[in-house]
Amino acid sequence: MSRYDRLAYTPSVRRVQQEMGSAAAAERRLRAPDDGPEPLGAAETAFVRGLDGFLFATVNEDGWPYIQHRGGPPGFVHVLDPHTLGYLDVRGNRQYLTTGNLRGGDGRVALFFLDHARQARLKVFGRATAVPADQDPALAERLATPRTDGRVEQLVTVRVEAHAWNCPNHITPRFTERELADALDPIRDRLARLERENALLRAELAATTTGARPSSPRRTDPPCPPA
């Protein structure tokens, strides 16, 4: 994680760390040599591929940050190689703030991948590009399965500079509909079996009860005497 720390710990950040008493710990994280862009490992690759969304941060020409959510089926963000992420960008509200920021700057971005269910999060620094979908048909085909539903407009790729796993504290556990379904399906099956068994036992009990209590003889009145 030294590469991520080197990019994140600017002089201003280091001064605050000194003020807050965390400079020594930060210094230990910076001792490893900087070997350039940091590749995604097996854990990071599996994490990204397993999520259905992430937050995408850019900065405009005036220095204002902008964060956008991108979502789709798990795996819509493809790990093309250990240094490259990519996905098909579909039409949204047509404001194009993220795209404008990418074209107006040098492409530096931050990605935030968060898994509420497992209380884990991964931070990524990178440089992104967004180009029309017909500019690279081969890449578009590679990113097509799976992808977000909608009209595809752009190919977005991110060259990973560095990444870091973030502290899991204060992540509220939340679960998607798919995750809940996976957990609840066995319970639903068991409830259905119990309901069938209960209905069968009720029917057997009703039959037993009916047989134990024969109906009383029907009352017959004597015939009326002749008038």
Write the pLDDT tens digit of every residue in 8-48. 999 999 999 999 999 888 888 777 777 789 999 999 999 99
Report which of residues 160 and 184 the model is more confident about: 160
Report which of residues 140 and 226 the model is more confident about: 140
Confidence of residue 218 (pLDDT cuts 50, 70, 90): low
Please report which helix (H) or strand (E) contains residue 158, including its range.
strand 152-165
Is the pLDDT confidence value at 216 over 60? no
Report which of residues 177 and 118 the model is more confident about: 118
Report which of residues 179 and 97 the model is more confident about: 97
pTM: 0.78
Sequence-ordered list of residues with C-beta below 8 angstroms from that of 183, at least 6 positions apart, any chain: 175
Where do the DSSP E strands lie in 22-95?
Answer: 53-59, 65-71, 78-81, 84-90
How do residues 49-74 score in pLDDT, each as one tens digit? Answer: 999 999 999 999 999 999 999 999 99
